Amino acid sequence: MTSLCDLAPLIERHWRTHGRETPIDGLLINRADMPCALIPALYRPSFCLVVQGGKISVLGGVAYRYAAGQCLLASVDLPVTSRITEASPDRPYLALSLAIDPAIVAELLVEQAAARDASPGFAALATSDHDPALRDPFRRLLELLDCPHDQAVLVPMIRREIVWRLLGGPLGPSLRQIGLSDTHAARIGRATAHIRDHYADTLRVADLAALAGMSVPGFHRHFKAVTTMTPVQFQKQVRLQEARRRLIAAEEVARVGFAIGYESLSQFSRDYRRLFGAPPGRDAAAIRAQLVPDPALP
């Protein structure tokens, strides 16, 4: 059986070749040789397996710690803060993340009829020890990076295998929620995905509630229960994280502020400083100067 030690050199090699984003859609690699400060990040529905080192992700004041041999599942789009806690040049932090498609979850639930009931213990973020059976499909997924002509046929099969294994494990209850269209988690997930894709637009809570198929009061209640924040707070965090990404790429501050939906540059600067601890231009310049590795991978 594949071991974590077998995955480590594959991650190292493909990190050198591809960096964080691999040619396989939704498959991300993260590597860092030193701990980093807390940095806001936007997690999409995804599964992360830590192969070496350790990390912490914080949502709504709750800290989720996961280290080698442990994993994290994000069931909906979530703005969180995260930092790598265990890493060194001799033993760098190594992790894999795979995006989760709710449609695949829904299809596989048909084969798992006994588990179709919604779980009252749903959590937007959840951690657990990993299932050793997941190592082999992840190894094959990494090996397919060397075989681009095989990816179109084999990658979908491996994705389904990984989701199937997850459904049968300790993270299954949370994962099942996003595959069942009538659960609160799935409905809120549609709203968070809409905000993520339209973060610069004027937010109308009534429209989001309609998208989720809920009353406005019910939507507010369930949105905060899942994400720990209001829709307006959620949108602001998504906007500011997108602003930071653009500023690190050396875009001009005023242009970025207007592009993400702010009408007042002074308000943009205040909100940005409140979240990141420094004005937009200074913060981005400091990150570029230090070449801080991107820890946005869950």
What is the rounded distance in angstroms from the CA atom of residue 38 to the CA atom of residue 78?
Answer: 16
Mean pLDDT, to the nearest integer, of 173-191? 83
Structure confidence at residue 113 (pLDDT): 62
Q: Is the pLDDT of residue 272 over 60?
A: yes
105-148 pLDDT, tens digit per residue, is 988 988 766 544 544 556 789 999 999 999 999 999 999 999 99
pLDDT of 158 higher than 90? yes
Q: Tell me which range, 33-47, 135-149, 214-228, is most confidently predicted by mean pLDDT.
A: 135-149
Contacts of 82 (CB under 8 A, 6+ apart): 38, 39, 41, 55, 56, 57, 58, 295, 296, 298
pLDDT value of position 290: 63
Q: What is the pTM of this model?
A: 0.83
Residues 232 and 219 sit within 8 Å (Cβ to Cβ) = no
The pLDDT of 173-190, averaged and rounded, is 83
pLDDT at 197: 92
Contacts 24+ apart (CB under 8 A), 17-24: 17/145, 18/145, 20/294, 20/297, 22/145, 23/145, 23/148, 23/151, 24/141, 24/144, 24/145, 24/151, 24/155
How far is Cα 178 from Cα 264, in angstroms, rounded to an integer?
37
Is residue 293 pLDDT above 70, yes or no?
A: no
In this structure, the strands spanning 39-43 and 27-32 are unpaired
Residues whose CB falls within 8 Å of the CB of residue 138, separated by 6 or more in sequence, listed in order? 2, 7, 49, 96, 98, 162
- Looking at every residue in the chain, the average pLDDT score rounds to 89
C-alpha span between 50 and 194 (Å, rounded): 29
Task: Look at residue 211 and tell me whether its pLDDT is greater than 90.
Answer: yes
Phi first, then psi: give them for residue 59, nearest 5 degrees.
Answer: -135, 120
